[in-house]
Structure 1
Amino acid sequence: MKLHKESKGTIIVASLLFAVIGLISIYFLKMWSLAIIIPLLIIYGLVFWFFRVPHRDILDHKENVIAPVDGKVVMIKEVEEDEFIKGKAIQISIFMSPLNVHICRYPVSGKVIYKKYHPGKYLVAWHEKSSTENERTTLAIESLTNHKVVFRQIAGYVARRIVFYCNEGDHAKAGHEFGFIKFGSRMDIFLPLDTEITCKIGDKTKGGIDVIAKMKE
């Protein structure tokens, strides 16, 4: 199984911590140490599972909006996007549990025209106010269909490490990686009002593969 490059530090810390706890439990608990070691091994395995990098066959897209993450669609509504669009937009929010793949992908192809990091709170990621109050990054792309698409990585109560690799002026390709969020969080996508939404609340998305909307050319 291929692991993401962001896993290195976490796995080193987890390995040392679990080794110390395991040795202490064996020394003091003897035969009862399995009650500690078995749950530790399960958690240790879940750490590796969290950082997995599954193979995805990414296609070329122009008008399609691609799911930027694996997760569950928890919100589709018309909102005011005040940071970049400064007007009405359709917001699609996808919640990622700690068991989801946490690679963040571009939802559309085009040019990165805006990037900003915001420090903030750590409300639970499905809370509606997390979009504007939590630690987050906001990015915008001028799409191949000449639309401005805004999307936002949002930290949650558990996820407190947002990573993004892109810069203004970069070429964005729908479905390809631009960042990573550790241990459960949320992604918001803000689209033009005339966008055709092809997903619904409750849908499970596969990042880089599933089409969640289509923009008019």
Structure 2
Amino acid sequence: MFHKEGFKIIVVAFIIVAAVVLTADQIDTAWIKYLLQGIAVVILVLILQFFRNPKRTTLLNDTQIIAPVDGKVVVIEEVFEKEYFKDKRLQISIFMSPINVHVTRYAIGGLIKYSKYHPGKFLVAWHPKSSEENERTSVVVDNPTYGMVLYRQVAGAMAKRIVNYAEEGMQVIQGEDAGFIKFGSRVDLYLPLDTNINVKLNQTVKGGVDIIATK
């Protein structure tokens, strides 16, 4: 199953690869022909795996924060959140490499109170300043049990487009598709200070499934 954000790219990739394979088939030198065809097929496979959208079953629970994306936990710290809360929050950041599933899912269900896109730079996603200087979207979900949670999609050095489906006033369900980031990136979560963290630095998590915090 592939994400809808990749449909056009996948179709174009199939056409280009088919053209390369057919054109290369006319080359008399066998190793050059097979090399070109092999490279084309490998590129197609990489594109297909990047846009994969595996079905995940989320056990809904308003006292739990689930991982919004697949990837590695790279930040767990208390920070001052400047954009919306303007107070201290617990930040958990998950870095996605190009081989990770890049679907963003809602970490908690509730009412969208805030959704804003910020143009910016394309620093490497693990850079400390990427959360404030890179292209990004910030979304606040208000859950009556857990409270308000902000998540931020952050573009990386390779990411050139962030897709965000959250709109203010929407009622969203935990684990549902919230967007997509194309090529290498990260997602930051800003949680209440009384949150219990269930993950450790460098731990690999699965979006829509793994519980990363409870209250």
For normalisation by structure 1, the TM-score amounts to 0.93
2:100 maps to what in 1?
100
Note the C-alpha offset of 1:204. 0.7
Identify the residue that residue 131 of structure 1 maps to in structure 2.
131
Instruction: Summarize deviations over 1:12-43 as a string: whole Å, max 9, x none.
Output: 23223333444444445631211121122122
Code of the residue aligned with 1:98 in structure 2: it is P
Cα distance in 2, alignment partners of residues 34 and 110 from structure 1: 53
Q: Relative to structure 1, is the Cα distance of residues 146 and 72 closer, same or farther in structure 2, using a 3 angstrom cutoff?
A: closer
Aligned length: 214
* Structure 1 position 74, deviation (Å): 0.6
Partner of 1:31: 30
Q: Distance in 1 between matches of 2:135 and 2:174?
A: 24
Q: Give SS of 1:43's match.
A: helix
CA distance in 2, matches of 1:28, 1:162: 40
Give the stretch that moved more between structures: 62-71 or 32-41: 32-41
What residue number does 1:59 align with? 59
Q: What displacement does 1:3 show?
A: 1.2
**Code of the aligned partner of 1:90:** L
Counterpart in the other structure of 2:176: 176
Any gaps of 5 or more consecutive residues in structure 2?
none
**After TM superposition, what 4+ stretches of structure 1 lie above 6 angstroms from structure 2?**
none
Change (3 A) 1:97 1:29: farther
Deviation by residue 1:33-70 (Cα, 9 ceiling, x = unmatched)? 11121122122112111111212111111110110001
Counterpart Cα distance in 2 of 1:38 and 1:157: 27
Shift of 1:144: 2.5
Q: CA deviation at 1:211?
A: 0.5
Q: What letter is aligned with 1:66?
A: I
Q: Deviations over 1:71-97 (max 9, x none)?
A: 110110111110001111111000011
Q: Are 1:109 and 1:144, in contact at CA under 8 Å, matched by a contact in 2?
A: no
Does the Cα contact within 8 Å between 1:103 and 1:180 map onto a contact in 2? Answer: yes
Q: Which amino acid aligns with 2:105?
A: R
Structural RMSD (CA): 1.5
Identical-pair percentage: 48
Q: Provide TM-score, normalisation by structure 2.
A: 0.94
Aligned AA (1:118): H
**What secondary structure sits across from 2:29 in the alignment?**
helix
Aligned equivalents of 2:48 and 2:28: distance in 1? Answer: 27
Task: Output aligned runs, 1:186-205, within 5 Å.
Answer: 186-205=186-205
Task: State the alpha-carbon separation in 1 of the partners of residues 171 and 19 from structure 2.
Answer: 45
Report the Cα distance in structure 2 between the residues aligned to 1:71 and 1:146, rounded to whole angstroms.
Answer: 24
- Secondary structure (helix, strand or coil) at the match of 1:6 reads helix
- For residue 210 of structure 2, what is the aligned residue in structure 1? 210
